[in-house]
Amino acid sequence: MSKIIITCAVTGSIHTPSMSPYLPITGEEIAAQSVAAAEAGAAIIHLHARNPSTGEPSSLCNDFMGFLPGIKLKSDAVLNLSTGGSALMSLEDRLAAALQVEPEMCSLNMGSMNFALYPIAERIKKWKHDWERPFLENSDDLVFKNTPRDIAYVLTEMGEKRGARFEFECYDLGHLYMLKHFVDRGLIHAPLFIQFVFGVLGGMGADPENLTHMKRIADKLFGEGYAFSVLAAGRHQMKMAAMSAAMGGHVRVGLEDNLNITKGTLARSNAQQVVKIREIVEHLGREVATADEARALLHLKG
Ligand code: KMH
Ligand code: ZN
């Protein structure tokens, strides 16, 4: 089995400041938590930006520049910019920073879907900012739009023209077939790095049978030409990541995906989750990849 790549998704666009005081929001906070996550063993840092005053998901290049230089200065982690942004953003906004920054890696969501966040708002008693509650509650009528045309556009602009490679986010079985379609069209080249995403309301649930089936079909479609990683939302995070590690896959953790470290206890940082999954995977007999080893495994431009 190859070394295991730990990705840490440090802030995302789903959780809001009222849910955890440890969620990094400002450029300084995002940079500091990213560097600490890299020091703890994350080879890849997956990044979204926030408005530093309100914590609202932001697509402004200026907000990305609030943390990117700080991370680069203090770590050699692979910087992976989200092109998913938030489901409320236009594709143009979602890509604005990545087009400028030209990162080694970016995410690419492989299909349109419901992306219901409202169940996670139920336990919040007091809201810090006006935008949070409508943002979450209106997600019962939200479509996360990633049409084949959108996907082709991201592949062309970020992949072909700028040399980025991708974390292909697959929330359902159909997304693997969409990925295969783009491989056949010649817009995607091995080795693929596929992120199996579990537990988003609108995508597949965090059931072990779904992971074994996703792997079985990915093996059939992509053979030796791919590696998989697993992220699971909320309380399913660690057990699904551990299962991936046991099956030869890679793992993703971070406060984008889950705010807790154990049931009912908030993680005090992203690094705390990286340390936890690192211990689990090392106990399973897997070695953790450095950033440069991840670059070599995934054929990144460096
Ligand atoms: N929020 C995750 C479920 C993206 O940024 O492009 C998936 C994700 C999407 O990270
Ligand atoms: Zn993301």
DSSP letter (8 states) at residue 254:
S
Q: Dihedral (C-alpha) 41, 7, 282, 241: value to the nearest 10 degrees?
A: 150
State which ligand 1 atom lies nearest to the alpha carbon of 233.
Answer: 3
The residue nearest atom 6 of ligand 1, judged by CA position, is 84
Identify the residues whose C-beta falls under 6 Å from ligand 1. Answer: 9, 12, 14, 82-84, 107, 109, 169, 197, 200, 256
Interface predicted TM-score (ipTM): 0.95
Closest-CA residue, ligand 1 atom 9, reads: 84
Tens-place pLDDT, residues 248-265: 999 999 999 999 999 999
* pLDDT tens digits for range 16-67: 999 999 999 999 999 999 999 999 999 999 999 999 999 999 999 999 999 9
Burial profile 229-250: b = 16 or more Cβ within 10 angstroms, e = fewer: bbbbbeebbbebbbbbbeeebb
CA of 148 relative to ligand 1 center, distance in Å:
17
Locate tokens 């046991």: which residue? Answer: 246
Quickly state the pLDDT bin for 74 (edges 50, 70, 90).
Answer: very high
CA–centroid distance, residue 82 to ligand 1 (Å): 7
Residue whose C-alpha is closest to residue 298's, from 211, 219, 188 = 188
Domains of the chain: 6-298 (3.20.20.70)
Task: Report the nearest-CA residue for atom 2 of ligand 1.
Answer: 257
Q: How far apart are CA 206 and CA 290, in angstroms?
A: 28
The residue among 250, 230, 281, 270 whose CA lies nearest residue 9 is: 270
